[in-house]
């Protein structure tokens, strides 16, 4: 038997043991866990965590729009202080100096970012 034939099982064993040790010491996040960023905020949306929370900061109900413009159809609204689930952001119509719009995760529609404080890093669509 060639001398390298015995190295493969040992290499596999070493890699498995190393991964187990790293997970014990917290170097690897458990599957499905949402990691916090350096600032302590929630991590950006990923395949495991498909949205970022945001909070409506308008004084009146915030209209949900069909597109990233105030001229698009109104699809409903959120009351001030509501927590919303944001999938991603785009540049759209500028609202009070802010061109960003957030795509909602759990329903169809967009919110003007001017009136939403994101509680994590929102990725681009």
What is the overall mean pLDDT for the chain?
76
Domains in the chain, number: 2
Residues 11, 65 share a domain: no
pLDDT tens string 50-108: 899 999 999 999 999 999 999 999 999 999 999 999 999 999 999 999 999 999 999 99
Q: Is residue 47 part of a domain?
A: no
Residues 111, 64 share a domain: yes
Q: Is residue 44 part of a domain?
A: no
What is the rounded CA–CA span in Å between residue 84 and residue 89?
13
Q: Is residue 46 part of a domain?
A: no
Q: What is the dihedral of CA 33, 38, 42, 48, to 10 degrees?
A: -40
**Structural domain boundaries enclosing 78:** 52-118
Q: Is residue 10 part of a domain?
A: yes
Residues 108, 59 share a domain: yes
What is the rounded CA–CA span in Å between residue 31 and residue 36?
14
């Amino acid at each position: 038997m060639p001398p390298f034939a015995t190295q493969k099982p040992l290499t596999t064993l070493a890699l498995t043991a190393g991964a187990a040790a790293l997970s014990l010491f917290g170097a690897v996040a458990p599957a499905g866990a949402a990691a916090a960023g350096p600032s302590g905020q929630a991590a950006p949306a990923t395949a495991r965590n498909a949205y970022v929370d945001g909070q409506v900061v308008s004084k009146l109900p915030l209209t949900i729009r069909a597109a990233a413009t105030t001229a698009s159809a109104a699809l409903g609204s959120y009351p001030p202080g509501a927590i919303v689930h944001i999938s991603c952001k785009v540049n759209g119509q500028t609202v009070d100096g802010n061109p960003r719009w957030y795509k909602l995760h759990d329903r169809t529609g967009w919110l003007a970012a001017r009136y939403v404080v994101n509680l994590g890093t929102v990725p681009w669509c």
